[in-house]
Amino acid sequence: MQTFQDEDIGFSSLALGLNTGSTIAGAPTIRISGFDSVGATQPAGRTDTTGHITDNLSYTVGRHELKMGGEYQRAVLDVAYFNNVRGTFSFDGTRGPWASDSTLSSTLKALADFLAGYPSNASGATINRGEPEPIYLVNSGDAWFHDNFQLSPQLNINFGVRYDYYGVLHDSKNNLANFVPGTGFTTGQLYPKTPLDFAPRFGFSYAPKWARRLVIRGGYGIFYDVPPVNAFASASSSNGAATGIAYNPGGPNPVYALTATNVVLQSGVPVFGNSVAKPPFGASSVTQQFKMPYAQNYNLNIQVQLTKSTLLQAGYVGNVAEHLLTLLDINQLINGVRPLAQQYPTLGAINQLNTNANSHYNSLQASLRQQLWHGLAANPNYTWSHAIDDDSSYTAPMDSYNLALDKGNSTSDTRHIVTGFISYELPQLGHFAPRLTKRWQLNSLLTFTSGSPINITTGKNTDLTGENKDRVNLIGNPFANVPVLTGTLAMQYLNPAAFAVPASGTYGNLGRDAIYGPGFGSFDFSIFKHTPITERIKSELRIEILNLFNRTNWASPTTSFSSASFGELTQTKNGSSAPGLGFGEPRNVQLGLKLIF
């Protein structure tokens, strides 16, 4: 359960003279340029309740280990995200007669507008009507059968099948309005059931007689995914579409945003009394060809025992995923005209949740495990991988009519990853004062990765589709002749001269996530000292140095080409939330003393 609310909501805006038409207690959001805002947290929250019945059975007969079972789940999600239900009022100093007075500061003008009751005409007085509190219900079940068969002393195989059923998402009152092309807004079943989702699995382990220190393992399986409720209810939108089926401008409880202009706030006078919602309205849809996403996972690895205490493992791990979620604007502009305009003239962008994206992942993974040997233990790991997909986070693509244009590196793609630890227990430092010279331990943790992909956009509606996902043209080497910044702590990472805005009405030639940001590296070092005090009590002194070599781990640069800081590194990985603190941040030293008894 989580709730978000202003601390004090024990008053009524109407009683104070501000008549917004809202019945929700508490303050509207009021923003005055140059000042902190009030009423920043409009009511929001959710309560998740899940009940389940699970049963398993294991049975061993001969060389077979049989396992079977099943589960039924019923999930109830009470979602109450009341966006802007109390209203938002912004004052920027552009409304009053003092707006053109150059002798006054912009902050003073904004304050004067507030005192006079003049909200900005640039969406300075807005409110949402019809905000719902849907209670989502999902019934699901699964059953499985598995056999682990010891075919011979050297060969073990396991196989089985799993059946998954994920019921259709619905609300308790059955009034969610889904937009279906050709039908309009309907409150019926959101999408067809998919009752035939079977997932077979197979694996083996083989230790050949001719190489007693060698083990070969492999496996294959299909795994169905559970789509998050957020994908249906509150998906992000950059094109003005509704953010989910709960916020559609249709059905029994339509949701509309009202904007009032030339408003003068007066005590008791309805602010939005004569305001009406003006089309075009953004909408949300769920495709009637909805399918459950699934992945085919496969792997093959070899494990070799090099010595009694050293183990080397290397292998290939990959997967192919199909029917991944994506949002497609089925009413995207074509030459300035929306294809559904004649049939639905009041609707603008319509983001439809589809399951037509795919992904591929391939990796080489290697690990060396050194168990304690003469005081030394270590476990370095290396992964080379590449992930490609059409959509990494069910957001609208650059062109909803050509998803292939968005095929590129996955947003989470990291080509090289090195992790591990090294620990060394020092021998006694001398033959005197054993409490001081014995039980010292040196430790290190290391993490090094190559950079993550960054998606460079124009920051403008260059292609004239209104999707606002326009990418730039690449016309040079983005890492060559990078200018040096002066008078700032920021660092230029990309050369802006290597990019250009495409011609109006065209798409850029740079692929999605085609360029990688800065890498990451952290070497953490620690010294432990264990000292026995009595037979039952001992102490542990820790000296820990995080990011020993004080490497600067930059966050991704600014990726909007229209930004004045495009291509600049302006903060570290955790800099936006906790400057200087967290994993990989500038060197930190911490001391600790623990008594163990």
**Which residues, 6+ apart, have CB-to-CB distance to 481 below 8 Å?**
495, 497
Where does the pLDDT of residue 437 fall: very low under 50, low under 70, confident under 90, or very high at 90 and above?
A: confident
Say if CB 422 and CB 443 are below 8 A apart. Answer: yes
pLDDT per residue over 64-93, tens digit each? 999 999 999 999 998 888 888 999 999 999
The total of other beta-carbon atoms located within 10 Å of residue 16's CB is 11
**Which residues, 6+ apart, have CB-to-CB distance to 281 below 8 Å?**
242, 249, 256, 346, 347, 348
Q: State the average pLDDT over residues 250-268.
A: 90
Q: Which of 301, 300, 302, 297 is nearest to 318 (CA)?
A: 297
Min mean pLDDT across 31-35, 101-105, 430-434, 468-472 is at 430-434
The total of other beta-carbon atoms located within 10 Å of residue 531's CB is 15
pLDDT per residue over 310-369, tens digit each? 999 999 999 999 999 999 999 999 999 999 999 999 999 999 999 999 999 999 999 999
Question: What's the pLDDT score for residue 277?
Answer: 86
Displacement of CA 367 from its chain's centroid (Å): 29
Q: State the average pLDDT over residues 132-152.
A: 93
Bond from prior residue into 380 cis (ω within 30 degrees of 0)? no
Question: What's the pLDDT score for residue 425?
Answer: 92
What whole-number distance in Å separates Cα of residue 479 and Cα of residue 108?
Answer: 45
Is 504 within the bounds of a domain? yes
Evaluate if residue 303 carries a pLDDT over 60. Answer: yes
Is 220 within the bounds of a domain? no
Where does the pLDDT of residue 438 fall: very low under 50, low under 70, confident under 90, or very high at 90 and above?
A: confident
Say if CB 369 and CB 259 are below 8 A apart. Answer: no
Q: Report CA-CA distances (Å) from 52 to 72, 74, 142, 194, 436.
A: 5, 6, 11, 21, 56
Is 453 within the bounds of a domain? yes
Question: What's the pLDDT score for residue 579?
Answer: 62
Q: State the average pLDDT over residues 35-62.
A: 90
Question: What's the pLDDT score for residue 393?
Answer: 85
Question: What's the pLDDT score for residue 575?
Answer: 67
Q: Residue 384 corresponds to which tokens in the numbers above? A: 């080379």
SS3 163: strand
Number of domains in the chain: 1
Evaluate if residue 27 carries a pLDDT over 90. Answer: no
Evaluate if residue 210 carries a pLDDT over 80. Answer: yes
Evaluate if residue 429 carries a pLDDT over 90. Answer: no
Looking at residue 316, its amino acid is Y
Question: What's the pLDDT score for residue 381?
Answer: 97
Where does the pLDDT of residue 152 fall: very low under 50, low under 70, confident under 90, or very high at 90 and above?
A: very high
Q: What percent of the chain has pLDDT over 90?
A: 71
Where does the pLDDT of residue 194 fall: very low under 50, low under 70, confident under 90, or very high at 90 and above?
A: confident
Q: Residue 591 corresponds to which tokens in the numbers above? A: 């001391």
pLDDT per residue over 512-530, tens digit each? 999 999 999 999 999 999 8
**Which residues, 6+ apart, have CB-to-CB distance to 433 below 8 Å?**
none
Is 496 within the bounds of a domain? yes
**Which residues, 6+ apart, have CB-to-CB distance to 131 below 8 Å?**
81, 82, 83, 84, 85, 247, 255
Say if CB 508 and CB 561 are below 8 A apart. Answer: no
Q: Report CA-CA distances (Å) from 357 to 230, 236, 320.
A: 18, 17, 11
Say if CB 337 and CB 464 are below 8 A apart. Answer: no
SS3 356: strand
What whole-number distance in Å separates Cα of residue 577 and Cα of residue 455?
Answer: 22
Is 514 within the bounds of a domain? yes
Say if CB 235 and CB 305 are below 8 A apart. Answer: no
What whole-number distance in Å separates Cα of residue 55 and Cα of residue 114?
Answer: 63
Q: What helix, strand, coil percent values describe the chain, rounded to 5?
A: 5, 45, 50
What whole-number distance in Å separates Cα of residue 143 and Cα of residue 578?
Answer: 45
Where does the pLDDT of residue 98 fall: very low under 50, low under 70, confident under 90, or very high at 90 and above?
A: very high
Q: State the average pLDDT over residues 171-200.
A: 90
Min mean pLDDT across 154-163, 426-435, 450-459, 579-588 is at 579-588
What whole-number distance in Å separates Cα of residue 168 and Cα of residue 190?
Answer: 7
What whole-number distance in Å separates Cα of residue 169 and Cα of residue 284?
Answer: 15
420: alpha, beta or left, given left = phi > 0 and alpha = psi -120 to 50?
left
Domain hosting 507: range is 414-597
Which residue do the tokens 């054993």 mark?
434
Question: What's the pLDDT score for residue 124?
Answer: 93
Q: Residue 581 corresponds to which tokens in the numbers above? A: 């603190």
Question: What's the pLDDT score for residue 233?
Answer: 82
Q: State the average pLDDT over residues 178-195.
A: 91
What whole-number distance in Å separates Cα of residue 148 and Cα of residue 6?
Answer: 56
Q: State the average pLDDT over residues 165-170.
A: 91
Evaluate if residue 36 carries a pLDDT over 80. Answer: yes
- For residues 123, 125, 129, 133, the Cα torsion angle rounded to the nearest 10 degrees is 90
pLDDT per residue over 546-589, tens digit each? 999 999 999 999 999 999 999 999 988 876 556 667 778 888 89
What whole-number distance in Å separates Cα of residue 232 and Cα of residue 227?
Answer: 9
Question: What's the pLDDT score for residue 501?
Answer: 96
Give the torsion sign (CA, 93, 99, 104, 106). Answer: positive
Question: What's the pLDDT score for residue 297?
Answer: 98
Where does the pLDDT of residue 395 fall: very low under 50, low under 70, confident under 90, or very high at 90 and above?
A: confident
What whole-number distance in Å separates Cα of residue 346 and Cα of residue 354?
Answer: 23
Question: What's the pLDDT score for residue 88?
Answer: 94
Which strand (E) or helix (H) includes residue 258? Answer: strand 256-259
Is 139 within the bounds of a domain? no
Is 452 within the bounds of a domain? yes
Which residue do the tokens 């003393």 mark?
593
**Which residues, 6+ apart, have CB-to-CB distance to 55 below 8 Å?**
69, 70, 71
What whole-number distance in Å separates Cα of residue 187 and Cα of residue 171?
Answer: 10
Is 479 within the bounds of a domain? yes
Looking at residue 482, its amino acid is V
Question: What's the pLDDT score for residue 577?
Answer: 56
Question: What's the pLDDT score for residue 578?
Answer: 60
**Which residues, 6+ apart, have CB-to-CB distance to 101 below 8 Å?**
109
Q: State the average pLDDT over residues 454-481.
A: 95
